[in-house]
Amino acid sequence: ERTEFMGYVHQVLDRYEMNLPETITLERQIPKGKSFVWMDRDKVTQVFDNIITNAFKYSPEGGKVRVNLDVRRHMVIISIQDEGMGIPYDKLDKIFDRFYRADRARTRKFGGTGLGLAITKELVEAHHGKIWAQSKEGRGTTILFTLPLMGSKRGRGR
Ligand code: ATP
Ligand code: MG
């Protein structure tokens, strides 16, 4: 359905703030104004869940997770940045493959199936968006995805 995206993202993040792991700080940078996305709310919520869960899971104690929205003319770019262990450059594309886990030690330590990002990618593409990753090993990871906009209005307030 047609969704006012900034308000929606505030809602999603508010829900995380309510039971945030004590060792993690969640920051948001969301522009004011209104932008509309045609989307399946449950599916886009699953996209946020998968990416944010990873950011928490692969972050050190005291780590910051930043959610940033960049509104362009025809799309919104959502980025979720963490200060975790990062991903080697040559593995950046592979993390979106089914069952891919960056290394065995990680698999033992953190559990999971390696399906999260593969499903996330399918959901983003079903919304005609793109998803990719940037990372500096040892410094953190940023997952970025886009969603097409139906229209925007700059303005004040949420
Ligand atoms: P699950 O199916 O429970 O999500 P998972 O988290 O291992 O399992 P994905 O979410 O698909 O699987 O992620 C794939 C792999 O990419 C992870 O195993 C991890 O090695 C790497 N990865 C994903 N996000 C991050 C991140 N924020 N920081 C570091 N590594 C990451
Ligand atoms: Mg995961």
CA 75 to each of CA 59, 68, 70, 130, 144: distance values in angstroms, whole numbers, following the listed order: 29, 14, 9, 11, 13
Higher local confidence (pLDDT), 107 or 13: 13
pLDDT at 150 over 70: yes
Q: Which of 80, 106, 117 to mutate to test the pocket of ligand 1 (most atoms within 8 A of CB)?
A: 117
Over range 118-137, report the average pLDDT: 96
Q: Report ipTM for this prediction.
A: 0.97
Of 31-35, 78-82, 95-99, which range is least confident?
A: 95-99
Pairing of strands 131-136, 151-153: unpaired
% of the chain residues with pLDDT over 90 = 75
* CA dist., res. 62 & res. 21, Å (int): 10
pLDDT at 104 over 70: no
Predicted confidence at residue 92, as pLDDT, reads 93
Interval between CA 1 and ligand 2 midpoint (Å): 26
| pTM of this structure | 0.92
Average pLDDT, the chain: 91
**12 near 18, Cβ under 8 Å?**
no
pLDDT at 109 over 90: no
Single out the residue of 2, 9, 23 nearest to residue 145, CA to CA. Answer: 9
**What phi and psi, each to the nearest 5 degrees, are found at residue 132?**
-155, 175
* CA dist., res. 32 & res. 25, Å (int): 22
> Residue 61 carries which side chain, given as an amino acid letter?
E
Single out the residue of 149, 115, 130 nearest to residue 8, CA to CA. Answer: 149
Q: Which of 49, 92, 95, 110 to mutate to test the pocket of ligand 1 (most atoms within 8 A of CB)?
A: 95
pLDDT at 157 over 60: no
Higher local confidence (pLDDT), 152 or 158: 152
**What phi and psi, each to the nearest 5 degrees, are found at residue 100?**
-75, 130
**Sheet containing 140-148, strands listed edge to edge, beginning at the edge strand earlier in sequence:** 25-29, 64-71, 75-81, 140-148, 131-136
